Copies of this chain bind each other. A is one copy, B any other.
């Protein structure tokens, strides 16, 4: 057995990576590429009390809970963060996050701006990344490109996106998604870099 100077990387606790991005940021596509690029990631599935939409699978898109189940979980400290939107609860189950991190996996939370702020408070060692569209015009093109929404809906989405982008500076990192592959590479690099932080090597 050789006398290592630092704790073996394999024994490090996994990162908690919090990712936000407005509608039109291309967050979903970028994240898929990040999961293809690197191993050791675990995608945290949120819980909600809203009804499943057609095609949504329990445990994959969301954990679908009753209001009673959700509130029990809150009382038992089982939610890392939660909030209500349009009369429904949304939240991050704590247990999976903690178990996967303890096992060395890097946990990815895809979450909106308010939830991200709550996670940062609960877990100050988390790494927060904001994925942004490159410009207002490109954002509008992307939102229109879907071709399914009328002008009023697009205008509303654009406004919401712009107001979310104002929170970008509260995040540790900003990744401007002008090209999916480049944006995925940046997130990949951020994860690699954060695993090299000197604090991670403390203790033998």
Interface residues of A (CB under 8 A from B): 2-6, 9, 129-130, 132-138, 165, 168-176, 185-186, 188-190, 192-194, 196-202
CB distance from A162 to the nearest CB of B (A): 8
Check A6–B168 contact: CB distance below 8 A.
yes
Chain B residues whose CB sits within 8 angstroms of the CB of A192 once the complex forms:
185-186, 189-190, 193
Q: How far is the CB of A19 from chain B (nearest CB, A)?
A: 13
Residues in B neighbouring A198, C-beta threshold 8 A: 130, 168-174
Given contacts A189-B192, A193-B194, 7 further A-B contacts (CB under 8 A): A2-B134, A9-B176, A169-B198, A173-B197, A173-B198, A185-B192, A189-B196
Which chain B positions have C-beta within 8 A of A4? 134-135
* B2 and A174 within 8 A (CB): no
B135, B173, B199, B201: the one contacting A193 at CB < 8 Å is: B173
A203 to chain B, nearest CB (A): 11
Top 10 closest A-B pairs, CB basis?
A193-B193, A189-B192, A189-B189, A2-B135, A190-B193, A3-B136, A173-B196, A2-B137, A174-B198, A174-B201
Q: List 7 A-B contacts (CB under 8 A).
A: A9-B176, A130-B198, A168-B201, A169-B198, A172-B197, A172-B198, A193-B193
